[in-house]
């Protein structure tokens, strides 16, 4: 309707212009402009333009004082004395060109006489690609076509449809490529033929399209299916039925569906579905997107647009797979030990629902008696148990439909078997977020190794609450592993490689970082003591966030107070604990200034806080340990 109204408006404007102009721009009281052979000509044609004054409309009663000027778009193309002029014009461009005739009298004042517009165009091309469609069983027939090149002239298009029993429908529009005939084809005679043609006409000629022959089945495009819904029988994903509504004549459907996070569709074609299709391959606890398209016949007709998408999450199912469980054991005293269990989340395909909690069961290996059962929402569990018995634990994940098969492990000393100790463990940076760990097989015991486990955690010596442990498992033939989970730059990691065989294990460790730079500060000397002419220096660890990687060495510097000489130094390899070191090259009865630095592979830290110490000497030492005389600045 909006398109038809716009066309009518353009036509009205064109008619008004034709009435006002049709060769004459104004009222033309003083004279006339005539154009021959026509005001509309084909490209390359010539026209004769004449301008003449009406009686008594000149400058004076004597025509010799009249001078006429003919303008083409403000450019003078003819100037002549008298009451009339005439000229031939050629080479006009496509489109409309304005010509004005003016009278000039003494004094140079120009007076408009009359004007004309000449339109240059071409004959319409044959309309191409004519096609028709009826959207919905109750829709109307609408046709479209390609007009071809612009004619630059007022051009009318007539759409005609011939049907059974000599029935004919016709409709016109101007400068258009689409028309709705406003008629509805019904399925009573689905094989009846219809013939559509479109004819373009302007003052230079006409052209008709090739006929478009079709039947009801060929052009009717059903409306998209609606009212989509899905049912899960007994709340199970294994029995799922998609239902929808269609127009009455629909016989064939195509369905597409995919997980919402996927870009590719699964496609299903079905005939005589009658608004229902059962799915057998949907995954549990997954959000899916469904759409349906329809057509009237499997081999004919036009597919409808896709329906609005239906998005729905499938029900949960019991978890599959087993948890990957790891543990650490630490002796507290002669009778007790602390067990820390860790496990990784199941993948989405294994969890098959929201994991509500984990069930941890502690069992005595002898007899398999459950000593303790615990439920936790976390992925770790710590407990203190006696050292006098052998223990096993079982861990399973629980969702609303059930639990996974429990993972059972026997608690043993993971580093007890010396024959299984891997050799030459090393760690090297492989970018900002990766560390490559390599090792050698444990000698003659290598054939017995069933798997390697690479374990790593942030190194925070002396901290009671240690950060969580990470691990990965590797096949017995691999001698390297790239660790990337929870790896951060400028952090030192304690890395341990375990070789496991049956219920035994051997381990070896190293330290590594993915990126390093010089530490931000040096160690703080917390105590200096004198004994037998030597001193012992103790220090605090640099805070983890200031180490900027793995500390390789410490340096202790000292020099006499107020001395301008270079300080002496002692270099100490990193180890924890103890954080203490002796110095025995100091002179008695001298006050020294001491400080420390730390080194990573990238360089040395700034000096730590300086301390002063006065060495009493052997006489004082013989009477007992001398009191510290410390100052720091």
Instruction: For 168-200, give the DSSP string.
Output: EEEEEEES-SEEE------TTSTT-EEEEEEEE
Cα 492 to Cα 519: distance, rounded to the nearest angstrom: 12
pLDDT at residue 38 greater than cutoff 90: yes
In this prediction, residue 63 has a pLDDT band, given cuts at 50, 70 and 90, of: low
pLDDT at residue 369 in the model: 74
pLDDT at 366 over 90: no
Which two structure tokens, joined as six digits, stand for 162? 């011939």
Residue owning tokens 């052209």: 207
* Mean pLDDT of the region 362-377: 84
pLDDT (mean) for 353-367: 91
Calculate Rg over the CA atoms of the chain: 48
Residue 302 lies in a domain: yes
If one counts every other C-beta atom within 10 angstroms of the C-beta of residue 165, the result is 6
In whole angstroms, give the CA distance from residue 627 to residue 392. Answer: 54
Q: Report the domain count for the chain.
A: 6
- Residue ranges making up the domain that contains 136: 128-220
The residues, ordered by sequence, that sit 6+ positions from 203 with a Cβ below 8 Å of its Cβ are 38, 40, 153, 154
> Among the three residues 411, 431, 463, which one is the final residue of a domain in this structure?
411
Say what the pLDDT of residue 576 is: 67
Number of Cβ within a 10 Å radius of residue 109: 10
Q: Is residue 5 part of a domain?
A: no
Indicate if the pLDDT at residue 540 is higher than 50: yes
Q: Is the pLDDT of residue 192 over 60?
A: yes
CATH number at 379 reads 2.60.40.10
For every residue of 365-422, which 3-state class applies, written as one string? CCCCCEEEEEEECCCEEEEEEECCCCEEEEEEEEECCEECCCEEEEECCCCCCHHHCC
CATH of residue 37: 2.60.40.1930
133 shares its domain with 115: no
Say whether 3 sits in a helix, a strand or coil. Answer: helix
What confidence score (pLDDT) does residue 457 get? 93
Same structural domain, 278 and 264: yes
Q: Does some domain include residue 26?
A: no
Give residue-wise pLDDT tens across range 398-426: 999 999 999 999 999 999 999 999 999 99
Residue 627 counted as domain residue: no
Angstrom distance (rounded) from CA 205 to CA 201: 6
Highest mean pLDDT among 433-437, 502-506, 576-580: 433-437
| Alpha helices (runs of H) in 133-265, residue ranges in sequence order | 216-219
For position 502, what pLDDT does the model report? 87
Q: Is residue 7 part of a domain?
A: no
Please enumerate in sequence order all residues whose Cβ is within 8 A of that of 555, keeping only pairs 6 or more positions apart, or say none.
569, 570, 571, 572, 596, 597, 598, 599, 604
349 shares its domain with 430: no
- Please name every residue paired with 233 in a beta bridge, in sequence order, or none if there are none: none
Is 402 found in the same domain as 423? no
The pLDDT tens digits for 549-581 are 999 999 999 999 888 889 999 999 988 666 888
Mark whether 479 and 528 lie in a shared domain: no
Backbone dihedral region for residue 416 (phi beyond 0: left; psi -120 to 50: alpha; all else: beta):
alpha
* 500 and 469 share one domain: yes
Mean pLDDT, rounded, for 185-210: 92
User: At which of 220, 245, 278 does a domain end?
Assistant: 220
Same-domain pairing of 505 and 567: no
Residue 325 to residues 336, 356, 360, 444, 473, Cα–Cα distance (Å): 22, 18, 11, 28, 11
Q: Does 361 reside within a domain? A: yes
Residues 548, 506 within the same domain: no
Residue 12's pLDDT is what? 44
Count of residues making up the chain: 633
Q: Cα-flanking dihedrals φ and ψ of residue 35, to 5°?
A: -125, 130
Of 105, 121, 137, at which residue does a domain stop? Answer: 121
Averaged pLDDT for residues 48-73: 84
**Per-residue confidence band for 62, with pLDDT thresholds at 50, 70 and 90:** low
Residue 244 lies in a domain: yes
Per the domain annotation, does 51 fall within a domain?
A: yes
Distance CA 163, CA 184 (A): 12
Are both 214 and 227 inside the same structural domain? no
The pLDDT assigned to 469 comes to 93
Which 3 state secondary structure label does DSSP give 447? helix
Same domain for 538 and 601, yes or no, is yes
pLDDT above 60 (res 631): no
**Rounded mean pLDDT of 318-330?**
93
pLDDT category, 462, cuts 50, 70, 90?
Answer: low
**pLDDT bucket at 531, cuts 50 / 70 / 90:** confident
Choose among 547, 541, 538: nearest CA to 523.
541
Question: Hey, CA dihedral for 104, 110, 114, 119, is it positive or negative?
Answer: positive
Same domain for 54 and 114? yes
Q: Residues of the chain with pLDDT > 90: what percent?
A: 69
Question: Tell me: the pLDDT tens digits for 230-270?
Answer: 999 888 898 899 999 999 999 999 999 999 999 999 999 99
SS3 416: coil
Strand bridging mode 504-512 / 75-81: unpaired
Are 113 and 155 in contact, with CB atoms under 8 Å apart?
A: no
Same structural domain, 35 and 102: yes
Q: Which single residue is written with the structure tokens 């009237």?
A: 296
């Amino acid at each position: 309707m909006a398109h038809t109204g716009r066309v009518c408006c353009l036509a009205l404007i064109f008619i008004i212009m034709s009435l006002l102009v049709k060769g004459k721009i104004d009222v033309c009281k003083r004279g006339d402009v005539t154009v021959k052979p026509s005001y509309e000509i084909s490209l390359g044609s010539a026209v004769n333009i004449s301008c003449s004054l009406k009686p008594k409309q000149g400058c004076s009663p004597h025509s010799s004082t009249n001078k006429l000027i003919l303008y083409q778009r403000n450019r003078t193309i003819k100037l002549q004395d008298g009451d009339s002029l005439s000229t031939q014009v050629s080479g006009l461009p496509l489109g409309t060109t304005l010509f004005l005739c003016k009278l000039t009298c003494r004094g140079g004042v120009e007076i408009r006489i009359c004007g004309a517009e000449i339109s240059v165009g071409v004959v319409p091309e044959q309309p191409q690609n004519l096609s028709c469609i009826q959207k919905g069983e109750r829709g109307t027939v609408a046709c479209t076509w390609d007009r071809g090149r612009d004619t630059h002239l007022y051009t009318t298009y007539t759409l005609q449809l011939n049907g059974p029993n000599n029935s004919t429908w016709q409709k016109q529009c101007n400068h258009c490529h689409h028309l709705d005939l406003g008629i509805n084809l019904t399925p009573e005679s689905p094989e009846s033929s219809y013939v559509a043609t479109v004819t373009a006409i302007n003052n230079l000629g006409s052209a008709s399209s090739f006929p478009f022959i079709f039947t009801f089945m060929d052009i009717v495009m059903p409306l998209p299916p609606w009212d989509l819904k899905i049912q899960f029988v007994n709340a199970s994903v294994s029995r799922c039925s998609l239902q929808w509504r269609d127009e009455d004549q629909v016989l064939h459907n195509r369905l597409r569906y995919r997980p919402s996070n996927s870009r590719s569709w699964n496609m299903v074609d079905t005939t005589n579905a009658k608004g229902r299709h059962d799915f057998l391959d949907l995954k549990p606890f997954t959000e899916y997107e469904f759409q349906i398209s329809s057509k009237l016949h499997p081999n004919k007709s036009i597919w409808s647009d896709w329906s609005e998408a239906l998005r729905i999450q499938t029900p949960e199912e019991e978890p599959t797979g087993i948890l990957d469980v790891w543990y650490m054991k630490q002796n507290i005293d002669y009778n007790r030990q602390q067990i820390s269990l860790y496990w990784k989340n199941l993948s989405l395909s294994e969890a098959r629902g929201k994991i509500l909690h984990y069930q941890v069961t502690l069992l005595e290996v002898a007899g398999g008696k459950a000593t303790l059962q615990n439920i936790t929402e976390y992925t770790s569990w710590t407990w203190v148990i006696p050292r006098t018995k052998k223990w096993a634990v079982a861990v399973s994940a629980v969702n609303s439909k059930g639990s996974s098969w429990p993972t059972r492990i026997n608690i043993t000393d993971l580093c007890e078997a010396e024959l299984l100790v891997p050799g030459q463990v090393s760690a090297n940076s492989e970018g900002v977020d990766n560390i490559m760990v390599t090792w050698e097989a444990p000698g003659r015991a290598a054939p017995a190794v069933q798997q390697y486990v690479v374990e790593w955690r942030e190194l925070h010596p002396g901290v009671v609450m240690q950060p969580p442990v990470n691990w990965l498992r590797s096949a017995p033939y691999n001698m390297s592993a790239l660790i990337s989970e929870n790896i951060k730059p400028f952090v030192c990691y304690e890395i341990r490689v375990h070789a496991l065989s049956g219920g035994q294990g051997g381990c070896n460790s190293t330290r590594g970082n993915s990126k390093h730079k010089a530490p931000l500060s040096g160690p703080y000397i917390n105590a200096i003591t004198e004994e037998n002419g030597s001193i012992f220096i103790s220090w605090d660890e640099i805070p983890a966030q200031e180490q900027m990687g793995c500390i390789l060495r410490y340096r202790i510097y000292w020099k006499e107070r107020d001395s301008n000489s270079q300080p002496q130094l002692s270099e100490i390899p990193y180890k924890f604990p103890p954080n203490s070191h002796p110095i025995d090259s100091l002179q008695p009865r001298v006050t020294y200034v001491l400080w420390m630095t730390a080194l990573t592979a990238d360089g040395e830290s700034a000096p730590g806080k300086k301390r002063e110490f006065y060495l009493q000497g052997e006489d004082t030492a013989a009477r007992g340990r001398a009191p510290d005389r410390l100052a720091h600045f």
